[in-house]
Amino acid sequence: MGQKRRGGWWPALCIGLTGTILLIYVLLAASNWIYLGWHDTLYFFSKSRMWERLWLTVWTATVSTCLSLVIGIPAGYALSRFKFPCRYLFASIIDLPIVVSPAVVGAFLFGITTRFPFDWVSEHYDIYIGRNVYGVLLVQFTVTVAFCTRLMKASFDMIPTRFEAVSNTLGASPFRTFFKVVLPMAKNGIIASMIVVWARAAAEWEGLMLFVGATEGKTDIMPFAIYLDWNGGMMGWVTSMSIVCMLMAVSAISAMKIIGGKSNVW
């Protein structure tokens, strides 16, 4: 037997307003289709340029997510568990990506990458970080690493420290405890966070605009490509890529909700 539902004008108003959000997005998608039509939209999906842009977006977002995780997992754990100098400062910094525009990050990167160690790397290893795919990766990583740390901290905060205490009393070192107890327990939260970080990296645009700039065939990840094609008046491309971006976002959010359902990361 389910719980008896409460009627009345107040629940109806709240549910109605929730429906408005859905309506807005349906209208957005529908308006583009109405403008372009089904056949033309599908036509652009057959173009290799579309899939190249999608592939560039997927792999750069995946690599930058992996790099973010390498730092985000231990950093999130440190912020969740250990006391150290400037802990509160770090805890505040990881919240910055939520309030500061990625354009600020892009602007800062522009000044930094001409100096050590970036200039040293480009000189000795012939890896130039700038208006190329390395630049894309650097911007995505810089924007998502703090975001990733924030989510990892939330995942670890949900695991009671008692489990670690018990593991230690059983003779396990903190290192073993982390890999055998904490990580497996945080698994759902980490996967859910990873998806959100990946989606955030794939959607990065403002930082790229400032630091990398738009180079056709080199740095045109999906959101960036939409901007380029919009300026070029190619509405067919814009519509098709917008649909792909929407599908990617919906898939990522759904996956996060399903996998991380019990972890309440978000």
Partner 1 sequence: MIEIENLNGSIGEFHLRDINLKVNEGEYLGILGPTGSGKTVLIEYIAGIYRPDTGTIRVDGEDITHLYPEERNIGYVPQDYALFPNLTVEQNIAYGLKARKMPANQVNESVSKMISILKMENIRHRMPLNLSGGEKQRVALGRALATKPKLLLLDEPLSALDENLRTETARELRQIQRGVKGAFVHVCHNFEEASDVSDRIAIMNGGRIIQTGTLKGIMANPKNEFIARFMKSQNIFQGETDGSVIKIGENLLVKKNPFKGNVIAVIRPENIRIMENGVNRGENLFQGDIERYMVKPYFTELAVNGSLPLIVHTTNKKKYRKGDRIWVQTPAEHIVALEKSSCPGAPSLYPPKY
List interacting residues with partner 1 (CB under 8 A): 160, 162-163, 165-173, 176, 180-181, 184-185, 187
From CA 68, how far away is CA 143, in angstroms rounded? 9
Q: How far is the CB of 262 from partner 1 (least distance, A)?
A: 11
Is the preceding peptide bond at 223 cis, omega within 30 degrees of 0? no
Closest contact distance (angstroms) between CB of 264 and partner 1 is: 16
Nearer to partner 1, 113 or 167 (CB): 167
Cβ 265 to partner 1 shortest distance, Å: 17
CB closer to partner 1, 133 vs 172: 172
Q: How far apart are CA 161 and CA 237, in angstroms?
A: 51
Would you say 83 or 124 has its CB closer to partner 1?
A: 83
Least spacing, CB of residue 184 vs partner 1, in Å:
4
- DSSP code of residue 218: T
Cβ atoms 151, 227 nearer than 8 A = no
d(CA 249, CA 244) in angstroms, rounded, equals: 9
- Considering the complex, state which of residue 55 and residue 179 has its C-beta at the smaller distance from partner 1: 179
> What dihedral angle (degrees, nearest 10) is formed by the CA atoms of 254, 256, 261, 263?
-170
Between 124 and 162, whose beta carbon lies closer to partner 1? 162
Taking the complex as a whole, how short is the minimal distance between the CB of residue 176 and partner 1, in angstroms?
6
Distance CA 92, CA 99 (A): 11
Task: Answer for the pair 134, 128: CB distance below 8 angstroms, yes or no.
Answer: yes
